[in-house]
């Protein structure tokens, strides 16, 4: 039985208070493959009330109990891996191979990282005669995006559970089916009644209601900076904590001592992964001016290996982008790059040859990009790379930092000491040296308009805790 038209509230699958539907579009076909119910303030009220009622008991559970719960969730998640991959591929167009190897994998490894972090986490410490206690913040609202659906759901739900919080989750209405499967996983794992609740719907009718709700103690949001500002304003009247992971325009500085062929080729792949729909994608590649033309030739060759096509095909590297809105935005910015005088190295406007249906974008590389062009300042969220020449290292660092964003940065150098010195000067929450493996124990979050707070492992648990000082507690013993 499908639960696409239901919400999960207070331990049961329930119908919406006011029936309304949202079609879920397969971006490869531009056709609806299912529909979900659209929630309202009344549904949010029910979910928040359930979470509030469950909080006193769940917040007092032991660390051992919460570890056991997370381990059951991990087992249930692993059992549904193929279902999740199929859903992600349909709802956001990810090639099945990528959905299995990256999208499903991300949720699993974040569960594993949270379990390990909770095993080692200390919720109390003694400072003189004062006992410092870290306690669950309360009922939390979790609003997650469509581009890495399981990654972001798990990065919020798992640490919230680890901290002892109860919650209401609103997945993206663009890619909601994987979120419904996740709710089924929570049921299979035996999450106590009211601890986890799911309400689907759009931002104004559900997301903003969660953010402004007086019985919600914290909201954790991942999405665009524009939407994050709306959420923060909605939350302000009730002075609740707001954790945000927002947009990015991440620089990738290729230093003169880098292995150039490898650095440029890997930079193209990192930019294009997930069809370019990653907030921390290295979309601005800075290369020494003297080697700019060489970089363009390498990037062109690398980009043209990225086969765009049907997500179900084994040889597809890039699927479609997620929606008509996203496709139109990307096309507008590609046209802006051309009109502003950047060199179109490969790709360009329109669909790839042979594809006349679906939100497919041609993998695009621009060269001779000047700092300040639209393609070097706006978050495109598609497979579009801008290559900017620099005369010296100071110029590269200055222009890399000259952005409203600060989520991630990348540095390539064969001299690790050199790379570390540059990293110290970059204003970003994560700095990646020489394309390292994804570290699910590293803090993840941004500076400036890329957000606040940090996710992953113990960093995520900390965000869902309040700190209490019990003064005059006495000596530890």
Active site (catalytic) residues:
245, 279
Q: What share of the chain is helix, strand, coil (3-state, %, to 5)?
A: 40, 20, 35
Quote the CA–CA distance of 313 and 97 in Å, as a whole number.
Answer: 9
> Is the Cα dihedral 227, 445, 70, 102 positive or negative?
positive
**Which residues are within 8 A (CB) of 92 and not within 5 positions of it... i.e. 6 or more apart?**
27, 146, 147, 149, 174, 175, 277, 319, 322
Task: Note whether 149 and 157 are within 8 A (CB).
Answer: no
CA–CA distance, 469 with 135 (Å, rounded to integer):
11
Contact between 92 and 149 (Cβ < 8 Å): yes
Beta-bridge partner residues of 13: 8
How far CA 215 is from CA of 44, 58, 238, 239, in Å, comes to: 11, 16, 9, 11
Could you give the 3-state DSSP secondary structure of residue 23? strand
Compute CA distances 233 → 99, 172, 219, 226, whole Å. Answer: 34, 20, 12, 11
β-strands 408-412, 196-198: how paired? unpaired
Assigned token pair, 85: 């991959």
Contact 33, 26 (CB under 8 A): yes
> What distance in Å separates the CA atoms of residue 13 and residue 322, rounded to the nearest whole number?
28
Instruction: Give the span between the Cα atoms of 275 and 384, in whole angstroms.
Output: 9
* Partners of 222 in beta bridges: 245
State the DSSP H helix or E strand holding residue 91, giving kind and residue range, or none if neither.
Answer: helix 81-92
Residue with tokens 């095909």: 313
């Amino acid at each position: 039985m499908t639960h696409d038209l239901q919400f999960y509230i207070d331990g049961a699958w329930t119908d919406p208070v006011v029936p309304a539907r949202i079609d879920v579009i397969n971006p490869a076909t531009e056709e609806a493959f299912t529909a979900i119910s659209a929630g309202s303030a009344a549904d949010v009220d029910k979910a928040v009330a359930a979470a509030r009622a469950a909080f006193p008991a769940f917040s007092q559970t032991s660390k051992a109990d919460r570890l056991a719960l997370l381990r059951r969730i991990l087992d249930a998640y692993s059992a549904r891996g193929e279902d999740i991959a199929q859903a992600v591929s349909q709802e956001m167009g990810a090639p099945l191979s990528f959905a299995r190897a990256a999208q499903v994998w991300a949720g699993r490894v974040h569960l594993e990282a949270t379990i390990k972090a909770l095993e080692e986490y200390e919720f109390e410490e003694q400072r003189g005669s004062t006992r410092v206690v870290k306690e669950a913040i309360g009922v939390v609202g979790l609003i997650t995006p469509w581009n890495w659906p399981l990654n972001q759901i798990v990065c919020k739900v798992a640490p919230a559970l680890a901290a002892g919080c109860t919650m209401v989750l609103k997945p993206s209405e663009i890619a909601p089916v994987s979120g419904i499967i996740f709710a089924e996983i929570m049921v299979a794992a035996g999450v106590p009644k009211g601890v986890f609740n799911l309400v689907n719907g759009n931002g104004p009718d559900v997301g903003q209601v969660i953010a402004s709700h007086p019985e919600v103690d914290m909201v954790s949001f991942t999405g665009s900076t524009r939407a994050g500002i709306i959420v923060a304003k909605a939350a302000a009247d009730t002075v609740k904590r707001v954790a945000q992971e927002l947009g990015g325009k991440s620089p990738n500085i290729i230093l003169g001592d880098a292995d150039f062929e490898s650095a440029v080729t890997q930079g193209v792949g990192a930019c294009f992964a997930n069809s370019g729909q990653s907030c921390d994608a290295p979309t601005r590649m800075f290369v020494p001016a003297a080697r700019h033309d060489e970089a363009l030739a390498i990037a062109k060759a690398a980009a043209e290996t990225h086969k765009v096509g049907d997500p179900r095909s084994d040889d597809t590297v890039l699927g479609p982008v997620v929606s008509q809105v996203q496709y139109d935005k990307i096309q507008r910015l590609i046209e802006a790059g051309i009109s502003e005088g950047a060199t179109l190295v490969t790709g360009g406007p329109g669909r790839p040859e042979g594809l006349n249906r679906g939100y497919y974008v041609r993998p695009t590389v621009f060269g001779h990009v000047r700092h300040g062009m639209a393609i070097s300042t706006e978050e495109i969220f598609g497979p579009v790379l801008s290559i900017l020449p620099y005369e010296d290292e100071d110029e590269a660092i200055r222009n890399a930092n000259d952005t409203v964003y600060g989520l991630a940065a990348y540095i390539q150098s064969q001299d690790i000491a050199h790379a570390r010195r540059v990293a110290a000067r970059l204003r970003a929450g994560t700095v990646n040296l020489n394309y390292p493996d994804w570290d699910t124990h590293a803090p993840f979050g941004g500076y400036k308009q890329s957000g606040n707070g940090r996710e992953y492992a113990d960093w995520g648990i900390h965000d869902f805790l309040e700190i209490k000082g019990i003064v005059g507690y006495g000596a530890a013993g």
